[in-house]
Structure 1
């Protein structure tokens, strides 16, 4: 079973990186600085913005949020919550349900096996796609006004690492470095579209 690792965060103020590390250390640095306007914080894995309130007393998840590793609270109900199994709805056609009903262990076992197989088969493709999406999220937030942004984005999704490096070469050092970090898995020889 995959155990989620503690997220690493990076905070930017304009084009300058001002903090990096676990949530608590980034939050402590933001509280110490009290910048106005506030810094923008990114998740190092997903490239998504993370909202942190730097005022004292904020930033600590409430008990309801702390219940789940992913930060998403699920209603208790059907499933095996202690094992991390939560029942959700799946919509399939009758032929799919018929096939699943004939599988050893039933529909749930068959679906878990299919998902695990697909995760293994498409792991490289999914890593490339996730890296490109996380990089683009960061770039569109911080670097959209920089020269070469559009060309860099095109190069990113085309898998052209040389062109991407060329377009970001003259960017502020912290922005270019973080973009390289997020895009590290973007440069596979096979694009997600070719692997599909």
Structure 2
């Protein structure tokens, strides 16, 4: 599952070990501000759930002032009228770069239908498709590792959970985090939806 899919809220705020808000940045900022006013002694942290990097928000002033300082989403560029098609080969948006290959590679590319350029583009697209799941799994692991370092670094079993994460051992990972505070464990399970776990050979 893609880490960017809508099943995962974009941001999450924690007050200590308690999750206080999840959603878009405005929703989370408002939740963080209200929590700060109710319990100013709590440590507030806001995470971008796509990578678990911390997000800094200026919580001074009223809720309205806090929201007014948030970055505004980029507006879509105005749509330009479509140009009439021109004679000749269509523009593909390709970029010319130098590629160094052995002679036998060039010979093979030249013998393929469409020639070297078409074949190279097909090979690159196929490689991208084949590696997409692995790339998403790696990004999810990195996000979990970053979150655990901040929120669970002192918890019992932290190092073992980290090793289980990178061994793709779902059973052991979930067994360890089940003993951690509920909001921390729930957040880690949510982040782990993007991982391709090792299949259980006992099933």
Q: Does 1:94 align with 2:100?
A: yes
Residue 69 of structure 2, aligned match among 37, 51, 58? 58
The equivalent of 1:27 in structure 2 is 29
Quickly say closer, same or farther: Cα 1:60–1:128, change in 2 above 3 A. Answer: closer
The alignment's TM-score, normalised by the length of structure 1, stands at 0.66
> What is the deviation of 1:105?
9.6
CA offset digits 1:137-180 (Å, max 9, x no partner): 11111110111110000011111111112211210000011111
- Of 40-49 and 132-141, more deviation after overlay is shown by 40-49
Tell me the secondary structure at the aligned position of residue 153 of structure 2.
coil
The alignment's TM-score, normalised by the length of structure 2, stands at 0.64
Contiguous gaps of at least 5 residues in structure 2: 77-92
Quickly say closer, same or farther: Cα 1:113–1:51, change in 2 above 3 A. Answer: farther
- Of 112-121 and 147-156, more deviation after overlay is shown by 112-121
CA RMSD in angstroms comes to 3.6
The equivalent of 1:78 in structure 2 is none
Contact 1:156 1:186 in 2 (8 A): no
Supply the distance in 1 between the matched residues of 2:13 and 2:121 (Cα, whole angstroms).
37
Contact 1:15 1:142 in 2 (8 A): yes
Contact 1:161 1:187 in 2 (8 A): no
Larger radius of gyration: 2
Contiguous gaps of at least 5 residues in structure 1: 69-84, 191-196
Tell me the secondary structure at the aligned position of residue 179 of structure 2.
coil
> What is the deviation of 1:38?
4.9
Supply the distance in 1 between the matched residues of 2:41 and 2:123 (Cα, whole angstroms).
49
> What is the deviation of 1:113?
4.8
Supply the distance in 2 between the matched residues of 1:31 and 1:112 (Cα, whole angstroms).
50
Q: Does 1:45 align with 2:45?
A: no
